[in-house]
Amino acid sequence: MRRPIASVLLSAIAPSFVLGASLASAPIASAQDLSATRISDQIEYARGLASSWQFLDLADAVLNGLEGADLTGEQREALALTRADVFAAGARTIGDDSLREGLFDQALDSYSAFLDSYPASALVAEAQRNYIGVARDYSTHMSDLVEEAAGEEQQRLRSAIEERVARVLSNASEAIARLQDIEDRTESQENQLWNMRIDRGRLLLTLGRAAADGEGYLTLAEDEMGEVAFFAPSDSSFPQQAFMVLGEVYLAKGQIADAADTFEYVAENSIPFERDTWMDLREYLNDPQKNFRWSYLEFVTPPMIEAHMQAGNTARAANAGLHLLNMRNLEGFDVSARGELAMVAAARALFDAGGVVGGTPAAADYAWFQTEEEAEAKGLGKRSMRPALELALTLALDQAEGSNSLAAARAKGLINDLIESPGLSFGPEVLMQAARGAYDARDYEAALSAFRRVLTAVQGDPINASLYGGEVCWYMGDTYRRQGRLLEAAMAHREGVVSYAGDEVRDSMNAKSAYDQFGRFMRVDPESKLFKETQQQLAALVQIHVKAGETDVIHDLAQQKYQEAESNGRAATYAEAAGRFAEVPESSKYYGIARSMIGLCYYRAGDLAKAAEAFAAYEDELATTSDDGIRAQLEGSRVRVRFFGGEVALDRANWSKALETFANFPREFPDQAEYHDSALAKAVRAAVELGQIDRALELMEELSKRFPDSSQTLAATGYLFTPLWETYRTTDAGTAERTKVLEPLSKVVELRNRLSKKASFDLLRIESKLWIELGRYEDALTTLERINTAFADDETQADKLEAFVKPDLGVVYIQLDRLPEAHGILAPLVPDPDDKEAKSPSGDVVEAYIKSVAGWMKGDATDPEVMAGVGGAAELEKAYKWATKRSGNSSLESYTPPWFDARFLELWTLYQWSKVDTQHQFNLRQILTTFKRDYGNDFDFMTESGCDPSVAARFRWLDRLAK
């Protein structure tokens, strides 16, 4: 069933409007009978619902009703564009920030698909304008998220911004060029042109901030905004907008002084800093004009403060924030969402500045001073002064409980910083605000520390202990739960009812949560006597603190049957439990849990079809219910449905659904950390089964970074190893296919070896070979030494150690410039070259042995650095004989790059031998003379034969040495 946008976007609509809209859209049910005029009217009606009224669910319903209609080409285009507009309206107006990014993605994808599908449409210009506008708003929203995020999440957001915005830029340039080609533009077209150029500047700025090397984007943004500021009509708002973007470009480029000056210019041109100048100007402005100027001041204040703070201009930063506050107090301006962020920025500036603030809100004349003496020198009395930190706290508290979630989060973070300031003391209410701010920001360690601070503050104060103790313990317990620390969660909730009982609601919540979290923790050892005793004690607390009707008899009976099934493992008992959960009524507070348990019971019973049906019914109900209470309950248990719905998909080989479910699980349920590793591992498996190896590798990267020591990470390496190893095994070294899998295969094998409790000779051997092929010789050495250590006393592996590991160690030592150690290992492995009965070692081993004796070189081939071998006449003679055998091997085709390499090693060894035994000097000169005669006086023939130029350079270098 297609999930209507209504279930995501709106929480309530006026009944009278719903009735009217339902009547207006009644014909949708018979869309195939609609006339062409009626279809066009319906599309325009849907567009108006979304863009003008934000009734997005009704717009969606109208568009859905048109899907079966007989549409003309133009109507299909209009329908496709309107769908994109509905997503865009949803992204801009939805109240739940957690859903905003997804709606922006859908809007951007829809506009992109429209432009790809209908390049000749009459609606292309409109689609491009809307596409660019949505991208602008998307970049603003995502940039706000980047400021609040850290680590991997911040990098994910930056990558998403870079990918999305880069895709839009070409459309922006095309749309701008189309308008610029119009010789006699109308006023509307002229305005569109300047707006789109400013939007392009904003997009370039966003890319410059997000990209790893964004300097080029920032330079383009600077050029674009410089032109707009200079050439746009001076009596329009376009130059002011361009200067705003230009200031942010300067800030991003580190030109702090330029940024501060630009922002001050915008602020001064909006509402002047000098009060007399503003009072003169305002006489000529009506209210809309004043409000328009105020909106610019709201937008420019935060970056202006940031620029001044980065420049070390504390006073100017603090007074910039106070200017905003003074104007609000003076004119009674309404504060927008951006203004709320600006108020928090003003509070932060006062916190960073310290000092004192002089003036009063009634006079709207706040000013910042470093000391009270400075304020007194300006004629201010003690009553007109207050610490800057005190005003900062007042402003932060004003925003902490507001509806603007981003401003509230930043305000709570500031409150937390204020609490840490020395010399200040705060009551439990403020401390609680700060703790909840850290909790809401998912900074869990900081939250726990802050909640403990609240408990410390109420010790010895029975009234406040009763008011705050139970609430604090509940939040601490939930914080531990979000971290996957279930035992600590249970004990925190228990503390709430044992030490801080008195609030019936909180006592009930803590008692139930303690019992629930401990029950989940007991899975580690369900038969433990101590655990069972503790669970009984917690059950007694539930009986004491939870009202009789709350426990819900029907649900309890179903839960008991489920526990019985868990004990005996019988499918029939699980099926019976499913039936009982299905009987739990909508009026029960456990209704959502019960609905989710139906599918789980069938899954445990092995009836995958019924499990899938139950989970699908749950999702349908969640999508279609109009009861907010039921929706909230279902949302509360959705994590179970999602996870086990994915398990069902895996078991039924529905790999696409399993991949979608488990790959999205960590982001869909960020607080269920204890399941993230399992979900990601299962997503890896599903991606492998689908043949989406690149996707599987992306998921593996996320899994290994977040859970480097998890057993689920080990399991995931098993899923990936087989396809990667098969590609590696069946391709030749140096080919594109093999090169592509080499790095990921090495990571998978290394992870598997590190996490496995028992060392595997074959897997460690594979790992060492991969490191060698990648040229990571230090890693290869570590792995080979681990093999030696792990299997030194294993007689079953003795032959393999001798035949494979020791030779590889010798080769690795050569690459690490440790030639004597290489020789110590390789010399016993390389027999006398004249011994026809001896087994010949591999070519790699022989080459490494020769280099360990004769030495080798590195660096510039024209004058390389020589690494000395062990030398010695006998060893050099042996090495030279092996070198001649290698170069004369019939399997080595003459006059090819490998042949020239082998000949050089032969001649290099002869050169080293000639230094010990001078009779070989003549032979060396003769051979090199012949080479020069046959292959060009300067060994040029080698390069013509496909050799790297360094080969001929080495021969020329050796020729000089031998003279």
CB environment 744-767: b (16+ within 10 A), e (fewer): bbbbbbbbbbebeeeeebebbbbb
- 852 and 864 in a single domain? The answer is yes
* Amino acid symbol at 594: A
Confidence bin at 6 (pLDDT 50/70/90) = very low
Confidence bin at 424 (pLDDT 50/70/90) = low
- 794 and 887 in a single domain? The answer is no
pTM of the model as a whole: 0.46
Is the pLDDT score of 279 beyond 50?
yes
- 625 and 713 in a single domain? The answer is no
Q: How far apart are CA 887 and CA 903, in angstroms?
A: 6
CA–CA distance from 889 to each of 843, 885, 898 (Å)?
11, 6, 11
Q: How far apart are CA 334 and CA 291, in angstroms?
A: 8
Q: pLDDT tens digit string along 503-541?
A: 888 888 888 888 778 877 776 676 777 877 887 788 778
The DSSP-derived string for 504-532 is HHHHHHHHHHHHHHHHHHGGG-TT-HHHH
Confidence bin at 684 (pLDDT 50/70/90) = very high
- Show the DSSP H helices in 311-387 as ranges: 314-331, 337-353, 372-377
Asked if 819 and 868 count as a contact pair (C-beta separation under 8 A), the reply is yes
Confidence bin at 95 (pLDDT 50/70/90) = low
Q: How far apart are CA 631 and CA 623, in angstroms?
A: 8
**Residue 2 phi, psi (nearest 5):** -75, 125
* Amino acid symbol at 135: A
Confidence bin at 46 (pLDDT 50/70/90) = low
Asked if the structure places residue 374 within a domain, the reply is: yes
Instruction: With CA atoms as reference, report the closest residue to 578 among 610, 608, 601, 554.
Output: 601
Instruction: With CA atoms as reference, report the closest residue to 578 among 564, 553, 591, 595.
Output: 595
Length of the chain: 963
Q: What is the CATH number of the domain that holds 542?
A: 1.25.40.10
H or E stretch covering 472: helix 462-482
| Confidence at residue 10, expressed as pLDDT on a 0 to 100 scale | 28
CA–CA distance from 790 to each of 111, 533, 826 (Å)?
59, 44, 21
The phi-psi region of residue 225 (left if phi > 0; otherwise alpha if psi is between -120 and 50; otherwise beta) is: alpha
**Residue 367 phi, psi (nearest 5):** -145, 150
- 45 and 79 in a single domain? The answer is yes
Asked if the structure places residue 412 within a domain, the reply is: no
Domain boundary among the residues 179, 196, 231 is at 179
| Confidence at residue 260, expressed as pLDDT on a 0 to 100 scale | 92
Domain that holds residue 362: 257-405
Retrieve residue 843's tokens: 């070519």
Instruction: With CA atoms as reference, report the closest residue to 886 among 930, 938, 833, 958.
Output: 833
Indicate if the alpha-carbon torsion angle 818, 824, 830, 833 is positive or negative.
positive
The C-alpha torsion from 525 through 530 and 532 to 537, rounded to 10°, is -140
Residue with tokens 């006398």: 832
Q: How far apart are CA 304 and CA 926, in angstroms?
A: 79
Confidence bin at 22 (pLDDT 50/70/90) = very low
Percent of the chain at pLDDT > 70 equals 89
Retrieve residue 85's tokens: 């507009």
H or E stretch covering 34: none
Asked if 127 and 114 count as a contact pair (C-beta separation under 8 A), the reply is yes
Retrieve residue 588's tokens: 């029960």
- 645 and 658 in a single domain? The answer is no
- 617 and 661 in a single domain? The answer is no
Compute the average pLDDT of residues 633-654.
88
Residue with tokens 């029975």: 462
Asked if the structure places residue 805 within a domain, the reply is: yes
| Confidence at residue 67, expressed as pLDDT on a 0 to 100 scale | 66
Q: How far apart are CA 175 and CA 172, in angstroms?
A: 5
| Confidence at residue 368, expressed as pLDDT on a 0 to 100 scale | 92
* Amino acid symbol at 3: R
Most confident of 84-93, 107-116, 400-409, 538-547: 107-116
Retrieve residue 325's tokens: 């506050």
Asked if the structure places residue 868 within a domain, the reply is: yes
Q: How far apart are CA 328 and CA 364, in angstroms?
A: 8
- 866 and 947 in a single domain? The answer is yes
Asked if the structure places residue 224 within a domain, the reply is: no
Is the pLDDT score of 548 beyond 70?
no
The DSSP-derived string for 602-613 is HHHHT-HHHHHH
Asked if 111 and 131 count as a contact pair (C-beta separation under 8 A), the reply is yes
Over the chain, what is the mean pLDDT? 82
Compute the average pLDDT of residues 743-758.
86
Is the pLDDT score of 683 beyond 90?
yes
Q: pLDDT tens digit string along 445-496?
A: 878 888 888 888 888 788 888 888 999 999 999 999 888 888 888 899 999 9
Asked if 343 and 399 count as a contact pair (C-beta separation under 8 A), the reply is yes
Retrieve residue 550's tokens: 């709350």
CB environment 922-939: b (16+ within 10 A), e (fewer): eebeeebeebbeebeeeb
- 91 and 103 in a single domain? The answer is yes
State the burial class of residue 440 (Cβ atoms within 10 Å of its Cβ: 0-12, 13-18, 19+). Answer: middle
Most confident of 22-36, 38-52, 147-161, 609-623: 609-623
Asked if 821 and 782 count as a contact pair (C-beta separation under 8 A), the reply is no
**Residue 867 phi, psi (nearest 5):** -100, 120
Asked if 963 and 916 count as a contact pair (C-beta separation under 8 A), the reply is no
Asked if 825 and 809 count as a contact pair (C-beta separation under 8 A), the reply is yes
State the burial class of residue 708 (Cβ atoms within 10 Å of its Cβ: 0-12, 13-18, 19+). Answer: exposed
Compute the average pLDDT of residues 152-169.
79
Look at 316 and 520; give whichever has higher pLDDT: 316
Q: Report the 10 Å Cβ neighbour count for 155.
A: 14
| Confidence at residue 619, expressed as pLDDT on a 0 to 100 scale | 87
Q: pLDDT tens digit string along 881-905?
A: 999 988 888 778 888 888 888 989 9
Provide the CB-side half-sphere exposure for 136 (13 A, CA).
17
| Confidence at residue 302, expressed as pLDDT on a 0 to 100 scale | 93
Asked if the structure places residue 756 within a domain, the reply is: no
Instruction: With CA atoms as reference, report the closest residue to 806 among 773, 790, 784.
Output: 784
Retrieve residue 733's tokens: 């070294």
| Confidence at residue 258, expressed as pLDDT on a 0 to 100 scale | 93
- 169 and 289 in a single domain? The answer is no
State the burial class of residue 261 (Cβ atoms within 10 Å of its Cβ: 0-12, 13-18, 19+). Answer: middle
| Confidence at residue 322, expressed as pLDDT on a 0 to 100 scale | 93
Asked if the structure places residue 234 within a domain, the reply is: no
Compute the average pLDDT of residues 608-621.
90
- 66 and 121 in a single domain? The answer is yes
Retrieve residue 525's tokens: 């050892």
| Confidence at residue 778, expressed as pLDDT on a 0 to 100 scale | 92
Q: How far apart are CA 642 and CA 623, in angstroms?
A: 14
Confidence bin at 118 (pLDDT 50/70/90) = confident
DSSP symbol at 491: H
- 333 and 400 in a single domain? The answer is yes
- 497 and 574 in a single domain? The answer is no
DSSP symbol at 837: T
Rg over alpha carbons for the chain, rounded to the nearest Å, is 37
Asked if the structure places residue 79 within a domain, the reply is: yes
Percent of the chain at pLDDT > 90 equals 18
Compute the average pLDDT of residues 144-154.
74
Q: At 715, is the secondary structure helix, strand, or coil?
A: helix
Retrieve residue 39's tokens: 């279809």
Please state the domain count of the chain. Answer: 7
Retrieve residue 632's tokens: 């909230």
Q: How far apart are CA 267 and CA 293, in angstroms?
A: 9
Domain boundary among the residues 773, 795, 816 is at 816
Q: How far apart are CA 676 and CA 776, in angstroms?
A: 32
Contact residues for 169 (Cβ-Cβ < 8 A; gap 6+): 200, 203, 204, 207
Contact residues for 887 (Cβ-Cβ < 8 A; gap 6+): 899, 902, 903, 905, 906
End-to-end CA distance of the chain: 86
Look at 422 and 454; give whichever has higher pLDDT: 454
Look at 478 and 164; give whichever has higher pLDDT: 478
The DSSP-derived string for 564-575 is HHHHH--HHHHH
Is the pLDDT score of 805 beyond 90?
no
Specify the range with the lowest mean pLDDT, choosing from 189-203, 308-322, 387-401, 852-866.
387-401
Asked if 932 and 952 count as a contact pair (C-beta separation under 8 A), the reply is no
Q: Report the 10 Å Cβ neighbour count for 99.
A: 14
